[in-house]
């Protein structure tokens, strides 16, 4: 049985401009131990996917399709049942550790919160477990840091604390939404290595969300490229990078500055801009910006086309 | 850009032994307040029309350097010569004149534009403040500046919320260009932008240099961006320059352990991306 089975997930948000389709039929599945990356630019739906999995969508969001987690359907669960899953079976790490942590409470107390809620640990037992977790995320001087407040730690140390909280109940799935975007490169490197190590040790699933192709190449086995609320390309990371099948994936890759480019090289750009959710076109969401567009692209959303073993792209022009 | 003979002319920017110490809040009543040495003796020169990259991590002194070069703060020691003038000894009136030659572009195009002011007000503000330009002249020059960054003069009456992140950064660049500055200090100008938008802004900045001969002091944590845009790079670490050179040499054969560490941490290197 897979750990997570997302089938035709659709999310409609209420915005100032009316209903907007933020997710338009996202499907993927992962087993325990799988590491999957969601990549795309602002507004492509990657964070909405994560929020939908955790049942944290904004007020008024309409969800259809199915999210099965350990065999249990999440889209129909009530808030109390979701609360029992979040922080317990599903761990979360967000982008900005300073806003994820409460500035008024000590590190020890914040780690203890989920231990108390989900494991019923209190007092000395919770404190001892919090210390073990801080040691596990390799926070220096963990024993003294239990009584520290978030402002006394550096950005990288805070993110280690957030990871410790996410791991407190040994979750089956860890969702990390841009976990290193706010960190310096050398710290990013350390935090990603730590996440990889912990995920491998516990055999949990990792859903990593990032806009950084390099981070993805280093961190996940499988890649989902999102654009306009759909997964436009998916496959094993090495295969996707080896043969970028969707024009958007190729555009994203080409636009990225790389070390060793001749000074003054013009970067390839993708013309136009990401369509607003509220006026998403009927056909392929990328049609307006695509050099390979044909009439059929605009009439209906292209179905996934197999371009390699386990490698698919939603594009009618994969042979072009 | 690097016309022969240019290297022999007077550099546009000379930074000499620049140091800055910030005093932190007093920790104990009876002890002296602690300090932090943000910059500890930094020297370099920058020729007109060239780009110098400054790389380093949080706390390395990058942004302090930017603030001192922009004369937004006074150094604890050392000095900044811009276009033959020692910036930190100028009188207020002289400083105002010098300022039109110096402009800055910030990281966050959401935070650096006032949401209640139109694009015209934002872009023309340096002209109004530094030159006392007439309304008609402001409008005309703002239109030209928008044109240079690929926006339309019809956009002058709009507000920042009507633009995407990339367009906002173009507006911020237009505001920097309007005084026809010789030097633009760009502090992480593309870090907050999506990859495809980042490419557009980087191309634009290079076009503007070709077109107007602007000089860039380009601060970034992204080594690939600096490699693309800059003729020379300095690596800052704990307020000092630990390595300096042309990017193709510096990034191919880094000498200092810190530069090596920065390079090794660039994501995707193992996959040869």
Q: What is the pLDDT of residues B66-84, one digit of tens each?
A: 999 999 999 999 999 999 9
DSSP for B81-109?
A: EETTEEGGG--HHHHHHHHTTEEEE-S-T
- Beta carbons of B200 and A252 less than 8 Å apart: no
| Residues from B in contact with A at Cβ < 8 Å | 1, 57-58, 164-166, 194-200, 202-203, 206, 221-225, 227-231, 247-248, 251-252, 261-271, 273
Name the residue with tokens 């958007």.
A248
Distances (CA, A) of B64 to A132, B34, B72, B173, B192: 39, 18, 10, 21, 20
Tokens representing A17 are 């401009």
| Residues from A in contact with B at Cβ < 8 Å | 41-42, 155, 184-189, 192, 211-218, 238, 241, 251-252, 255-261, 263-270, 273-274
Q: What percentage of residues in chain B have a pLDDT greater than 90?
A: 64
Q: Write down the pLDDT at residue A185.
A: 87
Residue of A nearest to B204 (CA): A266
Give the pLDDT band (50/70/90) at residue B270.
Answer: low
Give the pLDDT band (50/70/90) at residue B273.
Answer: low
Q: Which residues of chain A lie closer than 8 angstroms to B57, CB-CB?
A: 184-187
Query: Which residues are paired to B183 by β-bridges?
Result: B102, B215
Q: Is the pLDDT of residue B217 over 80?
A: yes
Q: Is the pLDDT of residue B139 over 50?
A: yes
Tokens representing B202 are 């980087």
Q: Write down the pLDDT at residue B192.
A: 81
Q: How far is B229 from chain A (nearest CA, A)?
A: 6
Taking CB atoms and an 8 Å cut-off, how many pairs form between chains A and B? 116
Distances (CA, A) of B65 to B15, B42, B71, B101: 10, 9, 10, 17
Q: How far is A309 from chain B (nearest CA, A)?
A: 20
Q: Which helix (H) or strand (E) holds A205?
A: strand A205-210
Residue of B nearest to A213 (CA): B268
Span A187-238, pLDDT tens digits: 899 999 999 999 999 999 999 999 899 999 999 999 999 999 999 999 999 9
Q: Write down the pLDDT at residue A137.
A: 94
Q: How far is B9 from chain A (nearest CA, A)?
A: 23
C-alpha–C-alpha distance, residues B176 and B179, integer Å: 7
Q: What are the φ/ψ torsions at residue B202 (nearest 5 degrees)?
A: -65, -40
Q: Write down the pLDDT at residue B133.
A: 83
pLDDT averaged per 10 residues, chain A (length 320): 93 86 94 95 89 92 96 94 93 88 95 93 93 94 93 91 94 94 87 94 95 92 95 96 95 90 88 79 92 94 94 92
C-alpha–C-alpha distance, residues A97 and A210, integer Å: 16
- Beta carbons of A41 and B264 less than 8 Å apart: no
Give the pLDDT band (50/70/90) at residue B5.
Answer: very low
Question: Any idea what DSSP says for residue A68?
Answer: E
- Beta carbons of A255 and B166 less than 8 Å apart: no
Give the pLDDT band (50/70/90) at residue B271.
Answer: low
Q: How far is B198 from chain A (nearest CA, A)?
A: 8
Specify the pTM.
0.87
Q: Is the pLDDT of residue B265 over 70?
A: yes
Q: Which residues of chain A lie closer than 8 angstroms to B203, CB-CB?
A: 266-267, 269
Q: Write down the pLDDT at residue A116.
A: 93
The minimal CB distance from B267 to the residues A184, A212, A269 is found for A212
Q: How far is A192 from chain B (nearest CA, A)?
A: 10
Q: Is the pLDDT of residue B3 over 50?
A: no
Q: Which residues of chain A lie closer than 8 angstroms to B195, CB-CB?
A: 41, 211, 213, 252, 255-256
Tokens representing B178 are 């309007």
Q: Dihedral of CA A209/A212/A218/A223: which sign?
A: positive
Q: How far is B266 from chain A (nearest CA, A)?
A: 7
- Beta carbons of B196 and A260 less than 8 Å apart: no
Kindly give the pairing relationship between strand A18-30 and strand A72-73: unpaired
Q: How far is B227 from chain A (nearest CA, A)?
A: 6
Average pLDDT for B134-154: 90
- For testing contact with chain B, the best of A219, A259, A277, A291 (most B CBs within 10 A): A259
Q: What are the φ/ψ torsions at residue A64 (nearest 5 degrees)?
A: -135, 170
Q: Are A65 and A9 in contact (CB under 8 A)?
A: yes
Tokens representing B262 are 């920065």
């Amino acid at each position: 049985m897979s750990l997570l089975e997302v089938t035709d997930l659709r999310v409609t948000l209420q915005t100032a401009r009316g209903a907007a389709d933020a997710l338009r039929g996202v499907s993927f599945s992962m087993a325990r131990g799988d590491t999957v990356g969601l990549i795309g630019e602002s507004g492509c739906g990657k964070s909405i996917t994560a929020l939908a999995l955790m049942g944290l969508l904004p007020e008024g969001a309409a969800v259809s399709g199915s999210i099965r987690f350990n065999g249990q359907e999440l889209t129909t669960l009530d808030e109390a049942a979701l609360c029992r899953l979040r922080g317990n079976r599903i761990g979360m790490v967000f982008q900005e550790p300073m806003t994820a942590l409460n500035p008024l409470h000590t590190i020890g107390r914040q780690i203890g919160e989920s231990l108390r809620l989900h494991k019923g640990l209190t007092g000395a037992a919770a404190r001892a477990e919090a210390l073990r977790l801080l040691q596990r995320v390799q926070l220096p001087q963990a024993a003294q840091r239990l009584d520290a407040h978030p402002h006394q730690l550096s950005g990288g140390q805070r993110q280690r604390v957030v990871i410790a909280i996410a791991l407190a109940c040994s979750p089956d799935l860890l969702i990390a939404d841009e976990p290193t975007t706010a960190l310096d490169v050398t710290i990013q490197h350390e935090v990603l290595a730590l996440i990889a190590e912990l995920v491998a040790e516990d055999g949990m699933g990792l859903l990593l969300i990032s806009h950084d192709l390099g981070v993805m190449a280093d961190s996940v086995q499988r890649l989902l490229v999102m654009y306009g609320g759909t997964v436009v390309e998916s496959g094993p990371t090495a295969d996707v990078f080896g043969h970028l099948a969707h024009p958007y994936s190729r555009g994203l890759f080409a636009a990225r500055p790389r070390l060793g480019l001749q000074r003054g090289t013009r970067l390839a750009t993708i013309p136009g801009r990401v369509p607003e959710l509220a006026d998403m076109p009927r056909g392929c969401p990328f049609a307006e910006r695509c050099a390979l567009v044909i009439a059929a692209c605009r009439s209906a959303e292209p179905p996934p086309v197999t371009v390699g073993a386990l490698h698919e792209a939603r594009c009618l022009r994969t042979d072009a | 850009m690097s016309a022969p003979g240019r290297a022999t002319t007077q550099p546009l920017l000379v930074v000499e032994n620049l140091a800055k110490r910030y005093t932190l809040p007093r920790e104990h009543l009876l002890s002296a307040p602690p300090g932090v040495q943000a910059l500890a003796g930094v020297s370099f020169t920058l020729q007109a029309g060239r780009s110098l990259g400054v790389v380093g991590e949080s706390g390395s002194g990058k942004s302090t350097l930017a603030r001192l070069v922009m004369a937004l703060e006074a150094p604890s020691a050392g000095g900044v010569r811009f276009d033959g003038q020692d910036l930190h000894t100028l009188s207020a009136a002289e400083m105002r004149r010098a300022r039109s030659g110096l402009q800055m572009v910030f990281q966050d195009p959401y935070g650096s534009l006032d949401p209640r002011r139109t694009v015209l007000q934002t872009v023309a503000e340096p002209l109004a403040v530094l030159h006392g330009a007439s309304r008609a002249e402001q409008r005309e020059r703002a239109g030209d500046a928008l044109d240079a960054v690929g926006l339309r003069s019809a956009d002058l009456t709009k507000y920042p919320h009507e633009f995407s992140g990339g367009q906002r950064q173009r507006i911020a660049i237009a505001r920097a260009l309007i005084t026809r500055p010789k030097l633009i200090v760009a502090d992480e100008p593309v870090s907050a932008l999506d990859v495809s938008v980042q490419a557009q802004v980087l191309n634009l900045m290079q076009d503007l240099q070709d077109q107007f001969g602007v000089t860039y002091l380009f601060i970034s944590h992204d080594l690939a961006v600096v490699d693309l845009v800059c003729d020379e790079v300095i690596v800052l670490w704990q307020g000092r320059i630990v390595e300096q050179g042309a990017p193709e040499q510096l990034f191919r054969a880094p000498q200092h352990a810190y530069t090596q560490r920065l390079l090794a941490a660039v994501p995707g290197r193992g996959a040869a991306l």
